[in-house]
Amino acid sequence: MKTIIEMTNIKKSYKMGDNILEVLKGIDLSITEGEFVAILGPSGSGKSTIMNIMGCIDAKSQGKYLLDGKNIENFSEDELAIVRNDKIGFVFQKFNLLPRLSTLNNVEMPILLRGGSSKEAKTKAKVYLDMVGLGDRMHHKPIELSGGQQQRVAIARALVGEPELILADEPTGNLDQTSGKEIMALFKKLNDEGNTIVMITHDEKIASQAKRVIRIVDGLIEPSFIL
């Protein structure tokens, strides 16, 4: 199995006036193709910062980060945007769907952004909406869907570009218990089909459903907790 993510001594700090806030204090972490990994930690532990660095949304302060074997440190913003769209599918807690567009149009976006044709985008979007059980809701707008359904649309959008990595940030955080269970069942199914998933969560019950759990405490991995 090839390594999708390799982090070596990753540090991240922010300047707050005259003070330096250390968020990540030296993270060593590798994730291989086909894994389902949960990164678990309380608010402020640094877990979302790790995801942002993995997803090329934020830059590390120190250390080495390889994504699919490539060092992205010197990539331009345009090159990073291409990486984000081609290699990574994002699922956010607040869904981040465009409210004026139909579910079909929302799911089409990654294909259109990479220069695909309208026909290709529509065809693939329909396939992935069917996969998440929303083929009959493709012309509905987000406001017409439940929270669980909106998250399914967000997952279809993350998958439509067939990325090598799915990053999910608190994907059940805004959902009721039943919808949360449905989303986790969907993630397990996707992982069983070969998708590599990294999930950020503060919920131990949610984290325990991944195949590997890594706990972050005060910007460091807690060694005794790596499963």
The CATH number given to whatever domain includes residue 103 is 3.40.50.300
Band of pLDDT at residue 226, cut at 50, 70 and 90: very low
Per-residue pLDDT at 175: 86
Angle at 99 between CA 93 and CA 104, to 5 degrees: 90
The domain in which residue 48 lies consists of 3-225
pLDDT, average across residues 176-183:
89
Band of pLDDT at residue 225, cut at 50, 70 and 90: low
- The alpha helices in 75-212, defined as continuous H runs, are 77-87, 103-113, 118-131, 147-160, 177-192, 204-207
| pLDDT per position as a tens digit, 122-170 | 999 999 999 899 999 999 999 999 999 998 999 999 989 888 899 999 9
Distance (Å, rounded) from C-alpha 194 to C-alpha 44? 31
Number of domains in the chain: 1
Per-residue pLDDT at 224: 61
With residue 34 as reference, give the H or E element that holds it. Answer: none
| pLDDT per position as a tens digit, 30-64 | 999 999 999 999 988 999 999 999 999 999 999 99
In sequence order, the 6+-apart residues with CB closer than 8 A to the CB of 46 are 12, 23, 24, 27, 216, 218, 219
The single-letter DSSP state of residue 31 is E
User: Is the entire prediction scored with pTM above 0.85?
Assistant: yes
AA letter at 102: S
